[in-house]
Chain A
Amino acid sequence: MKGFPLALLLTGLLLWSACDDASTVGVDLVGEQGAPTTERLDLATLSSVPYDDVTGGATRLLTGDVDDPALGRITATSFLDLSGTFGAPGDSTIQEVSLRLAPDYVYGDTTATLTLALAEVLDMWDDEGLTADTTLSTAATPLTETSFVPTDSLVTLTLPDTWIAENGDLFTGDDFEDAFVGFALQSTTPGAVVGFSASASELRVVTPSDTIEYQITKTLSTLGREGSPALPPDQTLLQDGVGPTVQFDLDLSSFADTPLNGAVIRFFTRSETLGTLPPHFVRPTLDRVQIVLVDEDDGEPVELELDDEAIDEDGTLSFSSAALRELFQQTTFGEDLYDALELRVAPSDNSISPLLLYTPEAADDLAPEVLLTISPADQ
């Protein structure tokens, strides 16, 4: 009990000191030091660079031939591989094999009659990481072809009986996935590039007693451009799939060692400035864009997504992620963390949709801008 009064005293003193009321009283002795400010700066550089998108494994197959009056001619050939199990082991009679394709994208004349040819792929392939400039070997002669308009909801390519007779055991055997290496979808008439949903398309095998669906498990779209886009002088092109993409950089040297509270990079887009489109011609534009850090680490290319944003209704594209701010903050500390910053289209949207961005040469209210919210360090 002797220690009780002392313990009581100590407890009381500790409780007495346990509250606080930080306030503005006395701040005049400090002054308004370090008040944050918003600084606007222009991009130091912006350039258009070739880019072959990764189309291997995409959820959409692009096929066709379109001549955009402003952006030039783009051709697309797609490749697919299939997987499935023959569901009627006691019934090896195959009556029909057809590839049923579900269009979900069109770029070009929606009224054009397109001819689609189906050819065999000759070699085994893996779609992982394949880019739009990849070409696979195909048979010289198509197996079949069909005509359709891009607004059709289903495009069917029926394989000839001779092919069924020669390859029917592909389905009834045990090694379909090794024995069958894929088909190519080639357009033989210009007019539009059409996209087919891989998940909604299938190979249908019909026997007297059953109908078996084989799913598309590998995809690749090979894209090519002919001619150069005819662009307004103060705009640059970002186009999915076929490229080009846009590289840019900032000059943060005047913000060395400056605490950075926020960073916004803003681009302005006006795709309608590409001129009047021909009747029935559809040119889908991009609605989401990423900023990607591009670097090399021990010779290996490194790409890191910094932000992914939708384009506003008024055509403004603003990036303001924490990763972007942190990158710029580390840059102000003198670290050299990247070779380039690039605008990219989200990989899941396999298309050839374009986006026009104003360059630093545009008028002040349309040129790309960077807004940095800083807390001055030298005050």
Chain B
Amino acid sequence: MPTTFRAVPSAPMLRRTVTLLALFALLALGPRDATAQRNSTGDAGSIYSRFGIGQLESFASSQSEALGGGGAALWTYNYPTFDNPASLSRQVVVRAVGGFRMQRLTIEDAAGSSSTINSGSLGAVQFGLPILQDRFGLGFSFTPYSRVNYQVQTRGELITDPLQQDTTAYRISYEGAGGLQELSAGAGYRVTDALSLGLSADMIFGIIEDGRRTIFESSAFTETNLTTSTQTRGVTATGGALYTLSNVFREQDDLNVGLSIRLPTKLDADRSRTLGESLDRDTLAADLSGDIDLPWSLRSGLSYRTDNRWTATVNARYEPWSQFDSDFGFPGFDPDGASQMNDRLRLSGGLEVVPAGDDQLAPYLQRVAYRLGGYYDQAYVAPSDDLSLRTIAVTGGLGLPTAFPGTHLDINFQVGTRGSAEDDFVRDLFVGFSATLNMGERWFRKRKLR
């Protein structure tokens, strides 16, 4: 009798994956929406996130995060990588990824004063689905695009009654929250063994809130919380190509060249100004509507892998933010006047070693992936023409195999500095950790029937 095969889902695995994925989605969506209120309870980040549309985020995969953050040419079967949708073609198992990040930020100014702020946020949620194993795959990703998260305050004294010379002390807390998110759905197809092409549709949306809370020492005066809220949404597309050269320098090595381009994006935006707390806000004047034009983005990279032990990658990202335009003003951008928007250049590189290579029976520590990298990021916006805002950081991490086959826990770190403690500027010194759970399993098995 002929042998036939039928694809059937592995029900327990499917349920577990879907449950975990839903949990990640809930965790990611819920607290992100709550970010707008979080500052008042003490979670804040860099004051530089006040400028432009916030501090831009880069997360292609937890592997690439540890290798400096670029992933245009980085692909493995263990990680869906979303910097380049072409890499989605190279998947063999269903993967669900979710994680969170912590950061300890020390801010120093020119006077030598410093402040330390801790913050935490949920990271990306990603889902990779191979349709044709190692040939055609889909990917879905929900990642932060930018983040606004700052809290800084000033103090003063106000003459409240010129006649009687009454005074009261006050404090103004400048608070920013929110940011843009990116929801992508992509597909990659391996045209030949060497060449993959991919395309993704990317929705960019979110709310940016800049607030100013004025608090008085005297109870005779009412605290006011003035918030400017900009709500945006728009769609763009990313196309990418990934070309692999095998056995370039030795047997069992491959050299990958990746390139992806994201189209310029026009975001529809509504801006409102409110006074009061979250559930009891008075809207000041009518909401304004307008557009925000984000520039195109070019990502390119090289990666080299040998023996499934060593992986090296270098990446570059270029975004001409000098072309940024908006009907609304943002700190660092005045639609009718001066702008401190610059072209963004991000360079990164990293090295990974898995001592055991493909040997799944090797001792545990030899199956761990050890990663080290770094990046340089020329920011797209600066507080002043006098400051070119750059971030330099060292990254690294461990890819820890778990007892569940195909599932990894990635613990990454990054240590870096941003800005300069000169004049009115500050220097950020940050230490960040992230934990990302990467689950992989086969949803469809070929069962032999007689």
Contacts and interface: CB of A to CB of B under 8 A. Distances in A.
A and B form one complex: yes
A325 B273 contact: no
A36 B42 CA distance: 24
B44 A25 contact: no
Contacts of B275: 259, 329, 377
Interface string A35-78: 11110100000000000000000000000000000000000000
Nearest to B216: A261
A371 interface: yes
A177 to B, nearest CB: 49
A9 interface: yes
Q: Specify which of A19, A27, A38, A40 lies most central, judged by the most chain B CB atoms within 10 Å of its CB.
A: A27
B104 A16 contact: yes
B383 A22 contact: no
A262 B50 contact: no
A13 interface: yes
Given A20-B117, A377-B226, A26 B109 contact: yes
B192 interface: no
Given A17-B102, A257-B285, A261-B214, A2 B403 contact: yes
B23 interface: no
Nearest to A321: B220
Contacts of A40: 162
B113 interface: yes
A74 B435 CA distance: 85
A371 B383 CA distance: 36
Nearest to A325: B222
A138 B393 CA distance: 97
Interface stretch (B11-19, B147-155, B441-449): B147-155
B159 to A, nearest CB: 6
A371 B166 CA distance: 12
B158 A257 contact: no
Nearest to B114: A25
Contacts of B108: 25
A264 interface: yes
B424 A28 contact: yes
A373 interface: yes
A46 to B, nearest CB: 19
Interface string A317-334: 000101001000110010
B212 A35 contact: no
Contacts, number: 156
A36 B170 contact: yes
A146 interface: no
A261 B225 CA distance: 10
B306 to A, nearest CB: 32
A375 B120 contact: no
Interface in B179-208: none
A57 B226 CA distance: 47
Contacts of A373: 158, 160, 221
A14 interface: yes
Contact of B424 (A29, A322, A369, A377): A29
Contact of B44 (A20, A325, A329): A20
Contact of A17 (B115, B120, B159, B170): B120
B173 interface: yes
B409 interface: yes
Contacts of A371: 160-161
B152 A30 contact: yes
Contacts of A17: 43, 102-104, 118-120
Interface in A256-284: 257, 259-262, 264
A29 B426 contact: yes
B153 A23 contact: yes
Interface string B222-256: 11101000000000000000000000000000000
B318 interface: no
Given A19-B118, A22-B117, A375 B224 contact: yes
Interface in A323-347: 325, 329-330, 333
A165 interface: no
A24 interface: yes
Contacts of B409: 6
Q: Specify which of A2, A13, A17, A375 lies most central, judged by the most chain B CB atoms within 10 Å of its CB.
A: A17
Contacts of A377: 226, 273, 275, 284
Contacts of B47: 26, 29-30
A10 interface: yes
B381 interface: no
A32 B424 CA distance: 12
A33 interface: yes
A368 B254 CA distance: 85
Given A2-B403, A13-B435, A33-B174, A20 B153 contact: no
Contacts of A365: 163
B115 A34 contact: no
Q: Specify which of B115, B159, B409 lies most central, judged by the most chain A CB atoms within 10 Å of its CB.
A: B115
B44 A22 contact: yes
Contacts of B154: 24, 27, 30, 32
Nearest to B150: A26
Contacts of A333: 282, 284
Contacts of A18: 118
B225 to A, nearest CB: 8
Contacts of A19: 42, 118
Contacts of B173: 22
A297 interface: no
B107 interface: yes
B387 to A, nearest CB: 9
Interface in B118-168: 118-120, 150-156, 158-163
Contacts of A34: 172, 212, 214, 226
A262 B160 contact: yes
26 contacts: A9-B411, A13-B100, A14-B120, A17-B43, A17-B102, A17-B103, A17-B120, A20-B42, A20-B44, A21-B116, A26-B109, A26-B115, A26-B426, A33-B172, A35-B158, A35-B172, A36-B216, A38-B158, A38-B160, A38-B162, A259-B275, A371-B160, A373-B221, A375-B226, A377-B275, A377-B284
Given A24-B153, A25-B107, 8 more contacts: A2-B403, A25-B115, A36-B170, A38-B158, A262-B160, A262-B216, A330-B282, A333-B282
Give 4 nearest A-B pairs by CB, closest first: A20-B42, A28-B424, A23-B115, A26-B47
